[in-house]
Chain A
Amino acid sequence: MRSELRVLFGRPRTWAMLLALAAIPILIAVAVRLSSEPPGPGEGPPFLDRVTQNGLFVGMTALVVSIPLFLPLTVGVVAGDTIAGEASLGTLRYLLVAPAGRVRLLVVKYVAAAVFCLAATLTVVVVGALVGLALFGAGPATLLSGDTVGVGESAVRALLVAVYVTVSLLGLSAVGLFVSTLTEVPVGAMAATVVLSVVAQVLGQLDQLAWLHPWLFSRHWLGFADLLRQPVSWDSFGDNALLQAGYVAVFGALAYGRFVTKDVLS
């Protein structure tokens, strides 16, 4: 496991993606800072109007901006690469002969992808918070319920949101893992995973497919607003966690079924 993380984070590509994610809150903060008028309520992405009150909200705004594409993109790259990447390098055969054990390898790969999800969301939130604090300071923040909370409390809320978004991405990671066992071409697996995440979101927009909506892994992606109320409403967190767990179970099982019987010919 430690060695898996070392490979993941020893890789320039991983850092490039995290850097790109870090750039999003920086851009937002700088843009808000440079504009002469503070954004009015309801303008631009959610939470943007709160940014000037409390710098921590830069991270939150950046998350909202990244959820539809940037986060799924990076997660798709990591999850799609899990097995297919090893296969295309040829290292898969050496890991299996070592022997790593196919099930163990699959589990380790998935956990590493999950760790990346956490690293990615934390990058956005933490970099956002730091930049926000530097540019706007840390005033008391008004929650969506109208209550005002102090800096410590809002930092906790920011971390909660990061956890929520991480959980949101677990289902997509499982899908990516499964796709990755189907091919030896990592780019294909990455692209397929990212495309699936976009398709899920598009389907979620179509009212004609309302029956399908509860089953889409992207269903609760933007539902973390409940964590910004007083008292915290855990309903959407629970629903989201359950849905993602379902995806992990189903696609984990599919990946298992595919990978344990697969001929490794690369």
Chain B
Amino acid sequence: MTGGSSPAEPAIRTRGLTKRFGQQAAVDGIDLSVPSGAVFGFLGPNGSGKTTTIRVLLGLAAATSGETSVLGQPMPRALADVLPRVGALVEGPAFYPFLSGTANLQRLDAADRRASPASRHQRVAAALERVGLGHAATKRVRAYSLGMKQRLGIAGALLSPRDLLVLDEPTNGLDPQGTREVRELVRSLAADGATVFVSSHLLAEVEQMCTHVGVMSAGRLVAQGTLDELRGGGEAHVRVRTPDVGTARSALAGLGLVLVQATGAAPSDRAADDAGEGSRDGVVEAVLDGAAPPPERIVEALVAAGTRVRGFAVERATLEDRFMALTGEGFDVVG
């Protein structure tokens, strides 16, 4: 990789970046900081401004206000120097349907003046091979499936060695194999030292491949940090599965834990509960904050209180929980 920015310098940094469409602020004063070498998951509900941010980062659209630097250089001033080092997939792939996959990539490669024509053929073939399209290379793109186009789009982003990859929903339309390959690809790119900025809705996906996460909501960046920091922002819970809901609750409360909810056996069923093994299990859940005793002590206390513990788990909040907490549960698109 060509280097150029010191590792300490973020690969992407924005300050007060705002993009308005008429009255509406699609991106509203965000301060993004993507560390060099990170795999940064850019999350947010539909219409929260992810693609708009990416367009501004890549110089496709001009910011209304705010500063941006990419790979340590001010944008959009250094566009011509920065873009050859950036591979991008913006809002889905786009191709000339009447040209073959190979011809499409060759054109894209030719558009970059710095790419040497002598090795073009090789680069295109390697990129196609990398996304598993070697066999469909001569087919017209018109005849490609959704996932094949998506793969071709990724191949386009990988034509030259890149220091930064900006991938807007790269796994959209891919089959499980394709999704997994993208994950592998992102990992291998990151292992080569590239920074990957990937927007996605698939939280499980992001959880598996990202080191850092930023969450957008209605044009604002409501959280960013390492994956652990973000998940850590939500508290851990203990979850106890037991038929003796009442005793479990009082035992946990006795340890100073705050109870969240109790499901399953209602108080009136208590008699049935005590009847024995076959009775229904309930779940007792409590917040595990910093002051709480270690989990093994909790189990001890539960057992000592006579709770029949049939299941016990300490659960960290999932990314999904945090995402919902940050962006709201509502289904309606803000905008």
Contact = CB atoms under 8 A, between A and B. Distances in A.
Interface of A: 2-3, 6-7, 10-12, 89-91, 93-101, 104-105, 261, 263-265
30 contacts: A3-B106, A3-B107, A6-B107, A7-B96, A7-B99, A7-B107, A12-B98, A89-B94, A89-B97, A90-B91, A90-B94, A91-B95, A91-B96, A93-B55, A93-B90, A94-B108, A94-B111, A97-B90, A98-B108, A98-B111, A99-B59, A99-B79, A99-B83, A99-B112, A100-B113, A101-B80, A261-B62, A263-B62, A265-B55, A265-B61
Contacts of B86: 97
A97 B76 CA distance: 12
B163 to A, nearest CB: 14
Contacts of A97: 58-60, 83, 86, 88, 90
Contact of A91 (B59, B80, B91, B94): B94
Contacts of A11: 96, 98
B173 to A, nearest CB: 15
A264 B55 contact: yes
Contacts of B62: 261, 263
B103 interface: yes
Contacts of A98: 83, 108-109, 111-112
B303 interface: no
B198 to A, nearest CB: 16
B110 interface: yes
B74 to A, nearest CB: 16
Interface string B97-140: 11100010011111111000000000000000000000000000
B156 interface: yes
Nearest to A98: B111
Contacts of A7: 96, 99, 107
Given A7-B99, A265-B61, A100 B112 contact: yes
A264 B61 contact: yes
B84 interface: yes
A6 B98 contact: no
Nearest to A10: B99
A99 B83 CA distance: 6
Contacts of B90: 93-94, 97
A10 B102 CA distance: 13
B59 A96 contact: yes
Given A93-B94, A101-B113, A265-B60, 17 more contacts: A6-B107, A7-B99, A10-B98, A10-B99, A10-B103, A11-B96, A89-B95, A90-B93, A90-B94, A93-B58, A97-B59, A98-B109, A99-B59, A99-B80, A100-B112, A100-B113, A104-B113
Most buried by B among A98, A99, A101: A98
Interface of B: 55, 58-62, 79-80, 83-84, 86, 88, 90-99, 103, 106-113, 156
Contact of A263 (B61, B95, B110): B61
Contacts of B58: 93, 96-97
Contacts of A263: 55, 60-62
A265 B20 CA distance: 13
A218 B44 CA distance: 54
B112 to A, nearest CB: 4
A25 B79 CA distance: 49
A7 B100 CA distance: 11
B108 A93 contact: no
Contacts of A104: 113
A54 B99 CA distance: 42
Given A93-B60, A99-B79, A6 B103 contact: yes
A253 to B, nearest CB: 20
A99 B85 CA distance: 10
Nearest to B51: A265
A265 B90 CA distance: 10
A12 B79 CA distance: 35
A3 B93 CA distance: 19
B149 to A, nearest CB: 11
A143 to B, nearest CB: 44
B138 to A, nearest CB: 13
B82 to A, nearest CB: 9
Contacts of B84: 99
Nearest to B84: A99
Contact of B111 (A6, A100, A264, A265): A100
B56 to A, nearest CB: 9
A101 B98 CA distance: 24
A184 B98 CA distance: 19
Contacts of A96: 58-60
Contacts of A3: 106-107, 110-111
A12 B97 CA distance: 11
Contacts of A99: 59, 79-80, 83-84, 111-112
Contacts of B59: 96-97, 99
Contacts of B61: 263-265
A89 B91 CA distance: 12
A93 B95 CA distance: 11
